[in-house]
Amino acid sequence: MKTVAAIDHELRRSHVQISYTRHKVESASLQLEQKALRILLLRRRRRKLGNILAYVEKLQGLADLERTVDDKLAQGDLSGATADAVRAVRLVRREPFVSLKCTTGLRERLAQVLPAVHGEVDDALYMMCKEGFDDGVYSSVLRSYLVLDLETRFAAERFAEGFSAAVALPRHGVGHFAATIERFFLTLVGESAKEAFGRHCDRDRADTANLMLEQLVEAVQPQVLRLVLFDCAAAFCELMHTHYSITQWHRDAFSPRNAESDYLHRCAINEGDKHKRLELFDDDDELSDELSEDELSEDELSEDE
């Protein structure tokens, strides 16, 4: 039989082993908790880093879109630049760009991008009225006005309060497009007359640029007045032809054939059926009868064939 001392020694040794084991278990548990917390921390950091990368990609896309607007304006793609500018303005009004402090400068720049694009569109329209009608330029200008008009209505409906202070939009769109064209033509009439008189007056070219039309008229000699009137008439005819081309373009808007000069200069009598064409000559019975006979003869020939 074991003595009391041996039993006490075994109990002490067992107590030491249990204490050591408990310490090892607590240490392992602490290490597991630390690793688990580290994993959670790494996951949280990874999630935050993913959000930051997503924000950076969105910022990069917005900055690229801003550069694209400038590039398309430089290339003359007015409608494409307007569409991209509208996209950029809509993006910058959303999260996370609204709450990010680093986007303050970008938001301030994009707040003026639509007025800047609208100014470029107006300049292109003015130069077209001055230099002559161009189907590509006019189609792009009109599409740009349509996009700007839709964006103005969209902004008025969804951002009725506080939006006008954040992003400045042109207050006139397609509804004032015709008035804008007429204003440009009236301005060009005055400029054409001023250039014609300034070309034949006795003063230097540098001086004539600062003179009013009335002063230029007084500076012209009577013997060259005929030349001045001829130049004015030629300039006015060019402006009238451009205005006529614009009117003809709207008879078949956005048609690919509007790039053809013959199609733009077609007459109303060349379109529609014979009954509509005969209505143009209701006041002239003789001409109406001749046209009717021509139409009937054409029908008879087609039937014979």
pLDDT tens digits along 216-239: 777 777 888 888 889 889 999 999
Q: Which of 79-93, 134-148, 268-282 comes out lowest in average pLDDT?
A: 268-282
Tokens of 106: 């970008």
Report whether pLDDT(291) > 50: no
**Mean per-residue pLDDT for 242-267?**
89
Report whether pLDDT(275) > 70: no
* pLDDT band, very low/low/confident/very high, at 85 (cuts 50, 70, 90): confident
Report whether pLDDT(93) > 60: yes
Predicted confidence at residue 16, as pLDDT, reads 81
Predicted confidence at residue 18, as pLDDT, reads 86
Share of residues in the chain with pLDDT > 70 (%): 76
Report whether pLDDT(241) > 90: yes
Predicted confidence at residue 147, as pLDDT, reads 86
pTM given for the model: 0.66
Predicted confidence at residue 127, as pLDDT, reads 94
Q: Which of 38-47, 192-201, 202-211, 263-272 comes out lowest in average pLDDT?
A: 202-211
**Mean per-residue pLDDT for 268-279?**
49
* pLDDT band, very low/low/confident/very high, at 133 (cuts 50, 70, 90): very high
**Mean per-residue pLDDT for 232-260?**
91
Predicted confidence at residue 239, as pLDDT, reads 94
220, 201 Cβ separation under 8 angstroms: yes
pLDDT in tens, 97-124: 777 777 778 778 887 888 888 889 999 9
Predicted confidence at residue 272, as pLDDT, reads 52
**Mean per-residue pLDDT for 262-281?**
60
More confident residue, 286 or 39: 39
Output the average pLDDT for the chain: 77
| Terminal Cα-to-Cα distance of the chain (whole angstroms) | 138
More confident residue, 138 or 5: 138
**Mean per-residue pLDDT for 18-24?**
83
Predicted confidence at residue 207, as pLDDT, reads 61
Report whether pLDDT(281) > 90: no
Report whether pLDDT(65) > 50: yes
